[in-house]
Amino acid sequence: MREKLFVGNWKMHFTLREAKAYFEKFLTLQSKNPLSNRIIGVAPPFTALFYVKSLLKATYIKLVAQNAHFAEKGAFTGEISPVMLKEIGVEYVILGHSERRHLLGEEDEFISKKVTSVYNIGLKPILCVGETLEEREEGETLERVSSQVKIGLQGLKSLQPQNLVIAYEPVWAIGTGRNATPEQAEEVQSFIRKVLEELYGKETALEIPILYGGSVTPENVGELMQMPNVDGVLVGGASLDPEKFYKICSIEV
């Protein structure tokens, strides 16, 4: 049985004071109606990670980092090592997010080194893949996603499926208010599952959670989650509002 995951990506939002107010609200909501049968994760900016860990101490909410470097330590000014993230209680790391690919020039080979390092250190990579609008219009979606998955995972020869997550995030849907339809998400996500099967065999492929991300809201999450290969969601904008994120996380699974 694949895990259902709901991950909020705060991006570059929230000071410590704002993070505290956020969880006061979110934890009050969930104390009235605890959410079981699912994993909920939150990815604050680096400056708030350690503090948020302390706020979440007595909860089931997982700490997620938005990025990591591949090296364990060294002369990499401005970077954060996966060892440092593990030390403070991070469990998942978002890698290959489209904003890092497109705004900061991260490429598949570089992302692959991070995925390998993060996985080997004992954290769970959330590898983000997805096509641009132009690629979709040119009919290149599946080819693009396939190469992102294959190169991204090329360093992981054997795999514990519960220690890896893939997130399909069409670039044209991120932060645009234009989500993929459930059918579009399912088409690509079932294809990703086939690629995973090629790489690791059917049994393993069936255990790897594949999330959808791109303008997820409390209104559209229900129909997306009905798709057989949508195992959860990666949420940007709507995760900044604790009530909306709580509504998204509390969908029936």
- Could you list the active site residues? 97, 169
214 lies in the site for ligand PEP, by CB under 6 A: yes
218 lies in the site for ligand PEP, by CB under 6 A: no
Tokens of 134: 């132009």
Which distant-in-sequence residues (6+ apart) come within 8 Å of 5 by Cβ?
38, 39, 40, 41, 165, 209, 211, 231, 232, 233
**Helix-, strand-, coil-residue percentages of the chain, each rounded to 5:** 45, 15, 40
Tokens of 228: 């057989």
112 lies in the site for ligand PEP, by CB under 6 A: no
213 lies in the site for ligand PEP, by CB under 6 A: yes
Which distant-in-sequence residues (6+ apart) come within 8 Å of 207 by Cβ?
2, 161, 162
234 lies in the site for ligand PEP, by CB under 6 A: yes
Least distance from ligand PEP to the Cβ atom of residue 212, Å: 9
9 lies in the site for ligand PEP, by CB under 6 A: yes
Nearest to 68 by CA among 84, 48, 87, 44: 84
222 lies in the site for ligand PEP, by CB under 6 A: no
Site residues for ligand PEP, window 41-60 (CB under 6 A)? none
20 neighbors 55 (Cβ within 8 angstroms) = yes
Q: Where are the extended beta strands (E) located within 16-122?
A: 39-43, 62-65, 92-95
The dihedral region occupied by 74, where left means phi > 0, alpha psi between -120 and 50, and beta the remainder, is left
Least distance from ligand PEP to the Cβ atom of residue 45, Å: 13
Give the one residue of 196, 237, 245, 246 binding ligand PEP; rule: CB under 6 A. Answer: 237
Give the one residue of 61, 123, 159, 216 binding ligand PEP; rule: CB under 6 A. Answer: 216
82 lies in the site for ligand PEP, by CB under 6 A: no
When the beta carbons of 214 and 218 are compared against ligand PEP, the nearer one is 214
181 lies in the site for ligand PEP, by CB under 6 A: no
Q: CB nearest ligand PEP: which residue? A: 236
Give the one residue of 236, 245, 246, 248 binding ligand PEP; rule: CB under 6 A. Answer: 236
Nearest to 170 by CA among 196, 195, 141, 190: 141
Least distance from ligand PEP to the Cβ atom of residue 167, Å: 7
Give the one residue of 106, 131, 135, 169 binding ligand PEP; rule: CB under 6 A. Answer: 169
Rounded to 5 degrees, φ, ψ at 181 are: -70, 160
Residue 159 DSSP code: -
Would you tell me which residues interact with ligand PEP (CB under 6 A)? 9, 169, 174-175, 213-216, 234-238
